[in-house]
Amino acid sequence: MSYISIGKNDSRYETLKKGFNQRWPSDGADASAIYVCRSVDDAQQALQHAVAAGLRPTIRSGGHCYEGFVSNNPGGVIIDVGFLTELSVDENTYRVGAGSQNWDGYVNLFKLTGSAPPAGSCYSVGTGGHVVAGGYGLLSRLHGLTVDWLQAVELLTVGTGGQVERRLVNASNDADLFKLCRGGGGGNVGVITSYHFDPLPRAPAQVALLVKQYPWAQFASDKERFRTFLKAYGDFMKKADTDPETYGLFTLFKLTHISAGNIGLVIQYTDRNGGLDNIQPLLDLVSAMDSVGKGTTLSAYLPGTGSTPFAQQHQSRRVAGGDLPVGTLIYDWLYSTQTVNGSGNNQRGKYKSSYMKDNFTDHEIDVLFHYLTEVHATDSDFAQSLVQVDSYGGAINHVFEGNNGFDPAANATAAVQRKSVMKLQYQTYWTDRAQDQKHVKWLRDFYYEVHQADGYNGTPYPDSVAKPNSRYEGCYIGYPDIDMLTGRQPGAADYHWGELYYGSLYDELVAIKHKYDPNKIFQFAMSLGAQPPRLGPRIGGS
């Protein structure tokens, strides 16, 4: 064999059994070995060996799974494809290896083609798991989701007889499997070894980057001001969804726990032509936020991001479109991406997500305020806990010149969330395992209560039999959360976690998985078709 097998007696094992979340593996859930693959041949041999030996395989590229789906594999093997970093470009196809990490992909594609994938901001996230979950980032409002540009996928599957098969999957060859690979989540049917993209969009020539912090002190005893602040943001994002002039604007609105001291707002902006000739959307957002909150640009740290630029530009700068807000830095796109490309420290973490189609409700704001300012208010261990609100919509939701001719109304992907204007990621980080229960309980209670009034079973349930005309579009499979298997009340009628992530496509995607993984080789807690079974009638299935 040519792949490298690292067993428990190897000095590398204790490090490589973990990914980018120190909570995993759980006690007693260690894999028997890690198979490090340097080529597609290696990956094929490693998978074939695992199947023949009856060892459960889990797959790792960058290692950023939020749950223990890869690292928790007692007695099984982790197939590591992080060395599959090849990148090639021709006139019609950009080919990227599944082991390539975001930052390496950005740098190399820019050098070769001047292009910029609309993918994630965390530098060390692996392409393998990021793209198959849908993939989005700071250019997605301008250029759509990563899977909207996907042309084909190379992957290894296991046939009925147990033989590993290589496949090139596209819209005309195994079209159903191609659909699953465009947003269905990783690890469901095989080992992805590379992605083929249509020629990707040109990188912006210039971007503006503004990092602001709004001290919590002005909101802590003034909930109405906090309410107005959040609604100003939500109102802007709802209107921006249908305004193409705003599509080059992306924000990371960091609603931190009060122990962090400041609420953060990171803005990257370029106009629809990739420059700064029209900066009005940036000015309008800053004006809306500053009309309510008093902010500062002098800061070097934001929870959930890590180091950010210490803006020493105390005066406004003039560009073709006018005077930029004070503190705005002008960057080449690549260096702006490098600046916000933070994965943070490798700690213990818990995460949740929700897609929102509308502005914040009073109930949601009341719960946000309560858990961010009143629960564990003086506990500095929550200084890294936050709800990050990412701007969404734009070219993700609408036909636009910047999104490759993709029509969301004729969506052939498994990324079904095409009506939302905000995407929320609930996050909490800590280092001491003795604090696990405290952090997990805080985030779980927080999340369930946010969605108690307008969601279903404590979750942001999408349009369905259980929740007609919902204001939510469910959750992002790239941010998996095992609490969603049951929601707040296990056994709730008509509730099914699969519908929460995949909407009406769930039954179709399960059937595709079973077709291409007939021996159920690829199984984990939230793989397609995982238990618990449906509890009542659902859209898209009986």
- 414-424: pLDDT as tens digits: 999 999 999 99
> Which of 279, 353, 346, 331 lies closest to 116, judged by CA?
331
- Mean pLDDT, rounded, for 40-51: 98
301 band by pLDDT with thresholds 50, 70 and 90: low
Per-residue pLDDT tens digits for 145-194 = 999 999 999 999 999 999 999 999 999 999 999 999 999 999 999 999 99
Return all residues near 67 (Cβ < 8 A) that are at least 6 apart. 24, 480, 481, 482, 525, 526
d(CA 508, CA 125): 28
Helices 280-290, 223-240: axis angle to 10 degrees equals 160
Q: Does residue 80 have a pLDDT over 90?
A: yes
Sign of the Cα pseudo-torsion (267, 268, 273, 275, in order):
positive
Q: Does residue 84 have a pLDDT over 80?
A: yes
| Between 222 and 537, residue with greater pLDDT | 222
Lowest-confidence range among 16-30, 267-281, 287-301, 371-385?
Answer: 287-301
DSSP 324-351: PPTT-EEE-HHHHHHHH-------EEEE
Structure token digits, residue 498? 């699969």
> Which of 107, 199, 98 lies closest to 150, judged by CA?
199
Structure token digits, residue 218? 């002005």
When the pLDDT of each residue in the chain is averaged and rounded to a whole number, the result is 93
542 band by pLDDT with thresholds 50, 70 and 90: very low
How many residues appear in the chain? 542
Q: How many CA atoms lie within 13 A of 195 on its CB side?
A: 29
Return all residues near 370 (Cβ < 8 A) that are at least 6 apart. 449
Residue 214 pairs in a beta bridge with: 263
297 band by pLDDT with thresholds 50, 70 and 90: confident
Structure token digits, residue 214? 């709004």
Alpha helices in 460-502, H assignment, sequence order: 497-502
Q: What is the pLDDT of residue 122?
A: 87
Return all residues near 62 (Cβ < 8 A) that are at least 6 apart. 19, 20, 82, 99, 101, 124, 125, 126, 127, 128, 129, 130
| CB contact at 8 A, 326 and 315 | yes
